[in-house]
A and B are shown apart, each in its own frame.
Chain A
Amino acid sequence: DADVTQTPRNRITKTGKRIMLECSQTKGHDRMYWYRQDPGLGLRLIYYSFDVKDINKGEISDGYSVSRQAQAKFSLSLESAIPNQTALYFCATSDYGEQYFGPGTRLTVT
């Protein structure tokens, strides 16, 4: 079984809808991250969490929120989706330093 899982893997939604992307990990890491990837822009950090009670904004947090339900679970929400949030979203975990990535969620907002 994969160490870092993401659900859903693909999602199409309409402008204005609320959507939640979920991430679970079995690596026992305290640190979890959400990134978005856009063609030609690399990965950009949305939010990160170093433990259940620690949530931090990343480079591009506007329009997103997160919830750290447990050490192993970190969810990303789009409160009111807009078309420019169409992207590939990755969750990652780490102990110290090297990050391990989930398979990604491809989100399309129409």
Chain B
Amino acid sequence: QKEVEQNSGPLSVPEGAIASLNCTYSDRGSQSFFWYRQYSGKSPELIMSIYSNGDKEDGRFTAQLNKASQYVSLLIRDSQPSDSATYLCAVNENNFNKFYFGSGTKLNVKP
């Protein structure tokens, strides 16, 4: 069974700090990688997608991918209380089109 591992947290950071969320995956065939944000009682919404090694930046968010180490991370700069949520890492093995999700990291941003 393909595995996606995340630290469940909670990760607590003060407002304005950088939050660093990490994810490892077991299947070397994984091709696409995603970060979703999920507020309590709501469905996941896409934050970032990344497909090649390196960094990808979008506003306050940076996704980092290292396929050799089977590692993907999400950095949130200038964290805001509204960023408090559970962040889900997802990987997709393109040949089979299935998404595998980690169990999520709960982030608390304290004012």
On whether the two chains bind one another, the answer is no
